[in-house]
Amino acid sequence: MPSYEVHYFPAPGRADLQRMLLEVGGASYTNAFLEYMTTWPAVKETMAFGMVPKLTVVESDGSRKDLFESSAIEAYLAEALNLMPGPTAFERAEALSVISALAELEDKVRLSLWLPTLDERKAAHATYCTETVPRYLKYQERFVRGDWYFGNKMTVADLKLYQLYLWYEDMYSSSGQNPFKVLAADFPKLGKIITTLDKGKAGEYARERRDFGKFGWNVEDWKFTPK
């Protein structure tokens, strides 16, 4: 059985879903944290594309191989940890299509984080939560094919949904604006997936091992800032 190292900053960010996959998949892993101002610049050039996260796969014979780019890492771990709907190319691609659509929704809020004034940020987040999110989630709700996205088996698609829910909690719990909660009545199947995951290993990861106390949502400023 291989073990894994997740090389990233001490924040959920773009490593959150892969850490969740490793936890739910029962894999042995460690976090190799990089500090943005000190250790990160020294190792940036060693990364295949100059970016992290990096996943190091450590085989039982001690050999190591590195994988970069969160979407590739997530696809790899989902397959390696039996968190895909099935073994065929089509089944795996369908799971990736759900992740891709949710990632597109996730990306749509990023611009709001960087708007120059507090008022602009608050307004952009409000529009995102009330207009953009339901537009995307209605298709997600329709897609769900059972207790989980793909029927009876929990997969990376469900975990991606939960990872998005957690990020919304980071940003919106203090203002009671998490669209998954505000619009819960419109998205019962998605809500049930989140509730179920929250009670299991994914929820335990979220509460115990997802946040490293270094960064947080600044309620006054509507930004993520160092603590």
Partner 1 sequence: MTTYELHYFNAAARADLSRLMLDFAGASYKNVLVKGVEWGTKQDTTPFGKIPVLVINDADGSTKELAETSAIETYLAEVLGLMPGSSPFERAETLSVVSAFVDLEDNLVAASLGATSEARKTAHEKALVESVPAYLRYQERFVRGTYYFGDKVTYADLKLYQIAFKLEEMYGASSPLTTRAADFPKLTKIVESLAAGKAGDYTRNRRILGIRQWFKDEWTWGFVAE
State the nearest-atom distance from the C-beta of 50 to partner 1, in Å. Answer: 5
> Which candidate, 202, 224, 206, places its Cα nearest to that of 214?
224
Separation CA 113–CA 28 (nearest Å): 34
Length of the chain: 227
Q: Which is nearer to partner 1, 114 or 212 (CB)?
A: 114
Q: Are 51 and 68 a contacting pair, CB within 8 Å?
A: yes
Burial class (CB in 10 A: 0-12, 13-18, 19+), 26: exposed
> Is residue 60 helix, strand or coil?
coil
Q: Which is nearer to partner 1, 93 or 123 (CB)?
A: 93
State the nearest-atom distance from the C-beta of 192 to partner 1, in Å. Answer: 20
Q: Which is nearer to partner 1, 65 or 214 (CB)?
A: 65
> Which candidate, 156, 163, 188, 145, places its Cα nearest to that of 84?
156
Q: Are 206 and 198 a contacting pair, CB within 8 Å?
A: yes
State the nearest-atom distance from the C-beta of 89 to partner 1, in Å. Answer: 4
Element (H, E) at 3: strand 3-8
Q: Which is nearer to partner 1, 1 or 227 (CB)?
A: 1
> Which candidate, 149, 146, 145, places its Cα nearest to that of 160?
149
Binding site for partner 1 (CB under 8 A): 48-51, 57, 65, 67-73, 75-76, 79-80, 89-90, 92-94, 96-97, 100-101, 135-136, 138-140, 143
Q: Which is nearer to partner 1, 93 or 118 (CB)?
A: 93
State the nearest-atom distance from the C-beta of 19 to partner 1, in Å. Answer: 17
State the nearest-atom distance from the C-beta of 65 to partner 1, in Å. Answer: 7
